[in-house]
Amino acid sequence: MLAQSLAAALSQISLTASAQRLSIRQYDVSDGLAHSHVSAMHQDAKGYLWLATWEGLSRFDGYRFTNYTQADGLGDPIINDIVEDRHGRLWVATNGGGIARLNDDNRLANPTSMPEKKFTSFHVSDDLMRANRVNAMVFDSQNNLWCATDGGLYRATVDESGPPDFKLEAPYSGETHMVAFVDRQERLWFGMERELIEVINGQVIEYGAKDQVGQQQITGITEIGGDRLLVAKESAVFELAATDASGRGNLESVAIGSWTQPGHQYLVL
């Protein structure tokens, strides 16, 4: 999976007397960024900004970039996603080398326990190699790591010691853009090309063509107003309507245009 290209731009906001004025500065390889194709960004609990690129992982501290590559333990040069678990540990999705975990910075205080490399890599599957092309990741409320891969949706329990133990939850075969999202009810949502997958209380619910979402690639999932889940496709937007007794919802098409809620106005493009 080759994620959609975008320019790495970091925003600096300056206030004027009458309004907010937004100034944009663009950063690229000349500033120290590993590669100008950035697939994902994540700000960790310490305030560092991490950027997933096609030539490794870049960390920005507000002044300079520090880059990490396969020499630092990453399993593949192309990075697709970055997440942080509930213990503050950073995890990285690669495009062929499985996932990698940032080794605890606190070990630097004790050089004798410091690992040889900055990252430790783990395969999602040793039998199905396309499962090691990890496109999107998310943690659930139990600190289980869910990975949307070219070989399917996998779940792993992660703890302080030992490698993650991955199990296949929903098979899939394809190479495309995938997205992951956690809503306010802590339901997990995955866009696997044309399929939408919901995980609620460990139950996996799949939405396909019969649910009106199987015709175009899913490009984004978000929530507005605290309880409205929207699924964006290439030329349509769907909203999750009320669920039935089994927990399965209905996806209804949303007219493309603008609509207003108290104090807010939204525009769907």
Q: Residue 90 falls within a domain, yes or no?
A: yes
Q: Residue 150 falls within a domain, yes or no?
A: yes
CA pair distance 162, 45, nearest whole angstrom:
23
Asked if 126 and 168 touch (Cβ cutoff 8 Å), the reply is no
φ and ψ of 102, to 5 deg = -70, 125
What is the domain-level CATH number for residue 20? 2.130.10.10
Q: Residue 253 falls within a domain, yes or no?
A: no
Distances (CA, A) of 43 to 59, 61, 84, 205, 234: 9, 10, 9, 30, 28
Q: Residue 4 falls within a domain, yes or no?
A: no
What's the domain count of the chain?
1
Q: pTM to 2 decimals?
A: 0.81
Q: Residue 92 falls within a domain, yes or no?
A: yes
Q: Residue 3 falls within a domain, yes or no?
A: no
How far is it between the farthest Cα atoms of the chain?
61
Over its length of 269 residues, how does the chain's per-residue pLDDT go in tens digits?
433 433 444 443 334 434 566 788 889 999 999 999 999 999 999 999 999 999 999 999 999 999 999 999 999 999 999 999 988 999 999 999 999 999 975 544 454 555 589 999 999 999 999 999 999 999 999 999 999 999 999 999 987 767 899 999 999 877 778 999 999 989 999 999 888 999 988 889 988 766 766 667 899 999 987 778 999 988 888 898 766 666 688 888 887 665 555 555 444 43
Q: Residue 27 falls within a domain, yes or no?
A: yes
Name residue, tokens 């039935």.
244
Q: Residue 106 in 3-state DSSP? A: helix
Boundaries of domain holding 42: 9-175
Distances (CA, A) of 188 to 139, 148, 230: 9, 11, 13
Q: Residue 100 falls within a domain, yes or no?
A: yes
DSSP-assigned letters across all residues of 218-268: EEEEEEETTTEEEEEESS-EEEE----TTS---EEEE-SSEEEETTEEEE-
